[in-house]
């Protein structure tokens, strides 16, 4: 989920904690637990700081180690321990318990997006992305806001948020059924498909769907039960030629391939060398595919610029690649980190 949703969930869990007699005993205890749940609900996303390094490192590790099983066990100890140092009057066990719930729910709800997490790491590096809930779901956010308003005007927070989260369980079940209905319909049209990559949207009746068969990739959209085809491409494995081999040494392309499960690739000959471009087909916005990796090489197959990330126009992509080229020229490095 997005940062705003994780934030309101942290506050909501602070309200839910009022069902705990130890927390409800004093306003001081409630405030302490509230601080811990808010921080705990954001903790797994502290890896956003990796953006300061570069996009490649961020894409490769975001929702990876910080969302793993060891991290889910470690974050509550760090957060609760830090809060407890300044507020030792409250029971550490209860403080840890509510912090753990905040961290666990953060990682748990993230697996329902199309982006997903490596929640089973280190036992499995597979990305778990169920494609049920959009990364920002207005209903989930607004239900929390409604809960805050009820709390503000006298409703008991513990019962209020208990009922709220029970209702969200039914919402998730409904969205699961809606997703499965779309997948069932797509499988009827493509009974021999090997993979379906589904992404929810803001519109409950609209789903983005990439269908992979043995020979083709179909980019489609399911809207109100009707399947619409946008583009279809031959499904071709990445070739093992000299150009691709050279491009795959770039960390931006390496990061892209470690994350994206369905894409198309293109090799374009340029005046001064070659361009290798990979396009993630899961994300389509107004006819444009914004998540890409691009590597440019000279005629001697030396990388002189590259980029990976979210780009919403060709003009912006060119600017990013020019910035990378300048860095290369100034550093003399063979691999650009943009």
Q: Of 284, 277, 283, 285, which is closest to residue 252 (Cα–Cα)? A: 277
What is residue 220's predicted lDDT score, i.e. its pLDDT? 96
272 confidence band (pLDDT: 50, 70, 90): confident
Mean pLDDT of 250-256: 93
CB 296 within 8 A of CB 271: no
Buried b (16+ CB within 10 A) or exposed e, 46-77: ebeebeeebbbbbbbbbbbebbbeebbeebbe
324 confidence band (pLDDT: 50, 70, 90): low
Percentage of the chain surpassing pLDDT 70?
Answer: 96
The answer to whether residue 328 scores a pLDDT higher than 70 is no
Q: Provide the mean pLDDT of the chain.
A: 91
Mean pLDDT of 132-143: 95
Percentage of the chain surpassing pLDDT 90?
Answer: 74
Retrieve residue 269's tokens.
């000959």
336 confidence band (pLDDT: 50, 70, 90): very low
Where residue 300 falls (left for φ over 0; alpha for ψ -120 to 50; beta otherwise) is alpha
Domain boundaries, the chain: 3-174, 181-234, 242-331
What is residue 255's predicted lDDT score, i.e. its pLDDT? 92
Buried b (16+ CB within 10 A) or exposed e, 202-232: eeeeebbbbbbeeeebbbbbbeeeebeeeee
Mean pLDDT of 19-27: 92
CB 147 within 8 A of CB 161: yes
Which has more pLDDT, 60 or 170?
Answer: 170
CA-CA distance, 158 to 149, in Å (whole number)?
14
């Amino acid at each position: 989920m997005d940062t705003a949703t994780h934030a309101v969930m942290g506050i909501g869990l602070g309200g839910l904690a009022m069902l705990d007699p130890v927390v409800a005993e004093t306003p001081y205890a409630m405030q302490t637990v509230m601080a811990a749940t808010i921080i705990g609900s954001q903790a797994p996303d502290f890896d956003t700081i990796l953006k300061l390094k570069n996009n490649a490192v961020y894409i490769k590790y975001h929702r990876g180690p910080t969302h793993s099983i060891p991290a889910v066990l470690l974050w509550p100890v760090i957060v609760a321990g830090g809060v407890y140092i300044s507020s030792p009057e409250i029971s550490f066990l209860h403080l840890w318990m509510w912090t753990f719930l905040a961290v666990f729910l953060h990682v748990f709800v993230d697996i329902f997006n199309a982006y997903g997490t490596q929640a089973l790491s280190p036992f499995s590096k597979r990305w778990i992305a169920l494609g049920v809930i959009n990364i920002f779901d207005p209903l989930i956010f607004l239900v929390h806001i409604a809960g805050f308003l009820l709390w503000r005007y006298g409703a008991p927070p513990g019962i209020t948020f208990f009922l709220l989260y029970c209702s969200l369980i039914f919402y998730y079940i409904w969205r699961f059924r809606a997703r499965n209905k779309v997948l069932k319909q797509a499988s009827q049209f493509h009974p021999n498909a090997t993979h379906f990559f589904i992404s929810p949207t803001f519109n409950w009746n609209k789903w983005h769907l990439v269908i992979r068969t043995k020979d083709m990739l179909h980019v489609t959209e399911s809207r109100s039960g009707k399947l619409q085809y946008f583009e279809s491409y031959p499904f071709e494995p990445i070739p093992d030629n000299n150009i691709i081999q050279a491009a795959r040494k770039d960390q931006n392309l390496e990061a892209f391939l470690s994350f994206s499960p369905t894409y198309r690739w293109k090799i374009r000959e340029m005046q001064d060398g070659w361009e290798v471009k990979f396009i993630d087909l899961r994300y389509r916005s107004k006819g444009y595919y914004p998540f890409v990796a691009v590597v440019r090489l000279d005629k001697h197959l030396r990388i002189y610029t590259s980029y990976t990330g979210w780009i919403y126009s060709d003009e912006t992509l060119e600017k990013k690649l020019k910035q990378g080229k300048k860095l290369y020229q100034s550093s003399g490095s063979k691999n650009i980190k943009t």
